Structure 1
Amino acid sequence: MDRRIFIKNTSLATAALALPKIDPLRSANLAKNNLPKWKGFNLLDFFSPNPKPVSKPTTEDHFRWMRDWGFDFVRIPIAYPYYLSIDRTKNITSEDVYKINPEAVDRIDSLVSMAHKYNMHVSLNLHRAPGYCVNAGFNEPYNLWKDNEAQKAFNFHWAMWAKRYKNVSSKKISFDLLNEPSMREDMNDQLSKRSAVPGEIYRKVAKAAAEAIRKENPRHLVIADGNNVGSTVIPEIIDLNIAQSCRGYNPGIISHYKAPWANKDPDHLPEPKWPGQVGNQYLSRAMLEEYYKPWIELTKKGVGVHCGECGAWNKTPHDVFIAWFSDVLSILSANNIGFALWNFVGDFGVIDSGRADVAYEDWQGHKLDRKLLNLLMKQ
């Protein structure tokens, strides 16, 4: 054999051996996602409509730990009454929703600034918007999906936030329109009968809010939570340049085991298993793969997808939680979909979660769920 040919062939063979092994099935399944694969946490400082200080506020240490552990994203769910100047002994009126309290807005801005200091992308979310919240506990004066006055107020609030961050890059901030939309019979009863918001109505509301935001800055990044409390893709808005946010709570018998706000009879539920037969259904990774298929397909259509909330309440047995959540995160991660755990400190979190069956690690005066943290870090 010609010496030059021999050297060339040998070099090519050596180079081929040096290349990383690629699983063709995994490679074929990887979707291009138009959103970054952010991973992080929800921060609940402004989650309540009551502006009194929370018992476990987010601190600079928290952001430092997040950054050092490799996280780059925080979602801040806000109840709009938190930053209003209103008489809280009375039900809110349609006029009250415009009474902005600048000091309360500044407190929210301070948390945003602290997050940016530690290189976190911040997703501002209206967890409670004029006329809708997935939770009860505050009486809304109207219905976001049916009343023009509610929609005008919704757009007003988003225009305010968009203007405040008019000059902030979309790499640093995004606007998550509304937490877990649904059509409920009674907007002030979270356990009343509910269904998906009709697609044309969701489109109308999302389109108007996005336009209000982008009037301040056409480059602002807008995200819409999935329909039917975050569970289903919204095909009606695919053409609106709005990213979509899914959830990591399926099935609810695992994620919200014994949660009183999610179950009418929380004390009489079948014991969760993963995988395994629970009640009248067999729970397995296959059901998760089917559940996330529409979201994966959405990324292939050029729509950015992120999982804005995920995790399980602290009554789910920890071994069941970790087994299930490993499958959830691996499916999301394999398709370049990032996530935000609900929450950082607290019942769903990695710190001070109050689980009875965890061997916690002492961490600077806190109780750290190291097993959960390691699972999150490796995604």
Structure 2
Amino acid sequence: MDRRKFLGQSSLAAGALAVGSLAIPGLLNANTELPFTHQPLAPLPKWQGFNLLDFFIPDPARSPAATTQQQLTWIRDWGFNFIRIPIAYPWYLKFDRSRDITPEEVYQVDEARVQQIETLVSMGNEQGLHVSLNLHRAPGYCINAGFREPYHLWTDAAAQEAFYYHWNFWAKRFRSKTPAQISFDLVNEPSMRKDLNDQHSASGPVPGEYYKKVATGALAAIRKENPAHLVIADGNNVGNDPIPELIGTPIGQSCRGYYPHAISHYKAPWANKEPEKNPLPVWPGKIGDTEYSRASLEKYYQPWLELKKKGVGVHCGECGCWNKTPHDVFLNWFGDLTGVLNDNGIGFALWNFIGDFGLLNSGRADVDYVDFHGYKLDHKLLDLLKKRQ
């Protein structure tokens, strides 16, 4: 569907898809209510699995090797039931990549690339895996630098219209999928960072009313195609904080498993301005001036556990540790982190499957790898993950 047709049809559906008195450009009017406003989401399944990075980079020429059917079979055979597919929306567009994208080009979908995404979703479903489709880079926002957006998702109506368009597009493509097969994770790790081209610039949580406006607008665009489609919103403040403004809507919420960053992102250059000065991590114990333990993790996740008690579906869409953290420290910390989640019925997905944070080919210098079909398998990590199933 092209942009003009989408905007025209969406106005016809506004009577069934508006949220209270909230006006959302191009999709909702100000005087009608969602029929599901008082129908909160049931608890989410305890999905466990991996993030697959096939479409994570905006430039397809730099994408990693495509996930294979065999790799998905390994995930299934190891007892996992979930894959999350973080997508940079420019990956599936047609435009001149030698310059910055324009607002008009944000709508230029490349059908051949869309079909590649559809193929991975179908392959995952064929293995009995639930697929979470996520816009890691959405029109007007990404937690990562490396691509210049033409506007700002949280403040610009044009960005919001494009955001709703893309989610309506994917909902239509997967209209026949059941909630057991697919869910839609709206935008990765929201924050109010004003300079989208500097990942180290100051940021903070998106104002709750802004987040609710954008999330419920996307929900409406998705459920226009299938009222059973399952929708999840990442926690505010880069995934750390629950979103109280969404309680009472049928939107699940996704936390993160990167606390504390002193362990999960030790020496990571994109997460630290001076990574070489990071103190050596330990677990449990003192890092810098702060003492950490499993009790620290229980305190960090308490707001998410309270959210779950209120009937909101909670899942941890990303967790893991970059490969510079000593392996024994990583495993000790990760055992406690996944233990807290598991003991409270919250599933999780490792970032990533193959790569620096991953189960295969992580590049850690202190791991006794097992050769597995030509990959280097971190068997101690795999054993830990299996214990949480």
Q: What TM-score comes out, normalization by structure 2 length? A: 0.88
SS of the counterpart of 1:194?
coil
Which moves more between the two structures, 294-303 or 125-134?
294-303
Deviation at 1:140, TM superposition (A): 0.3
Residue 139 (structure 1) aligns with = 148
- The residue identity in structure 2 corresponding to 1:240 is T
Structure 1 residue runs of 4+, over 2 Å off?
53-57
Per-residue CA deviation, residues 97-146 of structure 1 (Å, 9 max, x unaligned), is 00011001001011111111111000000000000000000000000001
Q: What amino acid is aligned across from residue 209 of structure 1 in structure 2? A: A
Note if contact 1:33-1:336 (Cα within 8 Å) is conserved in structure 2: no
Match of 1:61 among 61, 70, 80: 70
Say whether residues 1:349 and 2:358 are aligned partners: yes
Structure 1 counterpart of 2:100, one-letter code: N
Contact 1:56 / 1:345 at 8 angstroms: preserved in 2? no
Q: How much has 1:284 moved relative to structure 2? A: 1.1
1:150 to 132, 139, 159: 159
Q: Which among 347, 360, 385 is matched to residue 338 of structure 1?
A: 347
CA distance in structure 2 between the partners assigned to 1:60 and 1:168 by the alignment: 20
Aligned with 1:222 (options 227, 231, 246): 231
- The alignment status of 1:106 with 2:115, answered yes or no, reads yes
- Pair 1:184 & 2:193 matched: yes
Output the CA distance in 2 between the equivalents of 1:210 and 1:94: 22
**1:53 to partner: Cα distance:** 5.9
Q: Deviations over 1:219-273 (max 9, x none)?
A: 1000000000000000001111100000000000100000001000011110000
| Deviations 1:169-192, CA, capped at 9 Å, x for gaps | 011000000000000131121111
Pairing 1:79–2:88 present:
yes
Once the two structures are superposed, the pairs formed by residues 303-342 of structure 1 within 5 Å of their partners are: 303-342=312-351
Inter-partner Cα distance in structure 2 for 1:33 and 1:209: 19
Pair 1:93-2:110 in alignment: no
* 1:44 counterpart SS class: coil
Structure with max Cα Rg = 1
The code of the aligned residue for 1:78 comes to I
Does structure 2 retain, via aligned residues, the 8 Å contact 1:42–1:75?
yes
Counterpart of 2:79, as a letter, is: G
1:137-163 Cα deviation digits (max 9, x unpaired)? 000000000100000000000000000
What is the letter of the counterpart of residue 211 of structure 1? A
Indicate conservation of the 8 Å contact 2:86/2:135, yes or no.
yes
Does residue 35 in structure 1 map to residue 44 in structure 2?
yes
Residue 33 of structure 1 contacts residue 305 of structure 1 at CA under 8 Å; is this kept in 2?
no
Distance 2:64 2:213 in 1: 38
Match of 2:127 in 1: 118
Match of 1:373 among 376, 382, 386: 382
Distance 1:197 1:74 in 2: 27
Residue 55 of structure 1 deviates from its aligned partner by: 3.3
In structure 2, the residue matched to 1:11 is none
Segments of 5+ residues of structure 2 without an aligned counterpart are 1-40
Counterpart residue identity of residue 289, structure 2: N
The separation in 1 between residues aligned to 2:303 and 2:277, in whole angstroms, is: 32
Give CA deviations for 1:317-357 in whole Å, capped at 9, x if unaligned.
00000000000000000011000000001111111100000
Q: In 2, distance between residues paired with 1:83 and 1:350?
A: 27
Render the CA deviation track for 1:203-233: whole Å, top value 9, x for unaligned: 0000100010001111100000000000000
Question: Does the residue aligned with 2:224 lie in a helix, a strand or coil?
Answer: helix
More displaced 10-residue stretch of structure 1: 329-338 or 53-62: 53-62
Q: Please name the residue that 2:30 is paired with.
A: none
Q: Does 1:52 align with 2:68?
A: no
CA RMSD of aligned residues (A): 1.0
Identical columns (%)? 63
For 1:128, the equivalent position in structure 2 comes to: 137
Give, in angstroms, the shift of residue 302 of structure 1. Answer: 0.7
Output the CA distance in 2 between the equivalents of 1:67 and 1:47. 22
- Cα distance in 2 for partners of 1:188, 1:200 equals 24
**Within 5 Å, which residues of 2 pair with 1:256-295?**
256-295=265-304
